[in-house]
Amino acid sequence: MYSTVRAEEVKSNDIKILSTGIHENVKLVGARAEKSKNGNMFLEIKFEKNGAGLTQTEWEPTAFNGMSESDVQEKCDKQFARMLQILKCFYKPEALMFIGSNFAEFAKWVCDLLNSANKDILLRVKIVYNKGGYTTLPAYAKYTFIEPMNLPDGEASAIVALNIDSFEKIIVADKEDNTSNPLLGTTDSTTTSTPSADALPF
């Protein structure tokens, strides 16, 4: 039933993932725009360094309960600003003029530019944990999280570790089950009852 030969034939399927932190010499691999099995549009961008990767997924902004049209527009604007940070690593600002009426048009525009970009341009990238504990680019737009390794003369890197960046995974303890022990009876602030010997299961 057991064989070293057969066990060694089982192929490893390890996936190397870029850890959190500020990484240098990262390469853009490419981008794609697709629709999930649930019918939700998304934009996916892949980065790589020494065989380890980061997959950044941007979902189509949607309105949750209580959100106004302006709230959704703000989400779209922040998403666009984050994508511009990436695109400006490869293109001059004047080449990045775009007006679109929906996420599908926007995602296609971003993908076309990234897939046509010079992949030899190396990047400095900040990677953090999101609330779900997965590695990702930061969700904010007003602080720099990606830039070319080769900056203009005299210009220092704008990427710094901020106190809002999660570089360590947050461990959430399991919730304790408050189910009472039936053998201990009920307890309140004034009385304690213990089950009789007839009520015990042994």
Percent of the chain with pLDDT over 70: 83
pLDDT score for 172: 63
Amino acid type, 100: G
Could you read off the pLDDT of 147-183 as tens digits, one per residue?
Answer: 999 999 999 999 999 999 999 987 766 666 666 666 6
Beta strand segments in the chain, E? 21-35, 41-49, 52-59, 123-129, 135-136, 146-148
pLDDT score for 106: 97
Between CA 150 and CA 79 the distance in angstroms is 25
pLDDT score for 85: 97
Domain boundaries, the chain: 21-148
**pLDDT at residue 190 is higher than 90:** no
pLDDT score for 94: 95
Ramachandran assignment for 39, one of left (phi > 0), alpha (psi -120 to 50 degrees), beta (any other):
left
- Decide if 57 contacts 68 (C-beta within 8 A): no
Could you read off the pLDDT of 41-74 as tens digits, one per residue?
Answer: 999 999 999 999 999 999 999 888 888 989 999 9
Rounded to two decimals, what is the model's pTM?
Answer: 0.78
pLDDT score for 130: 93
Between CA 139 and CA 163 the distance in angstroms is 14
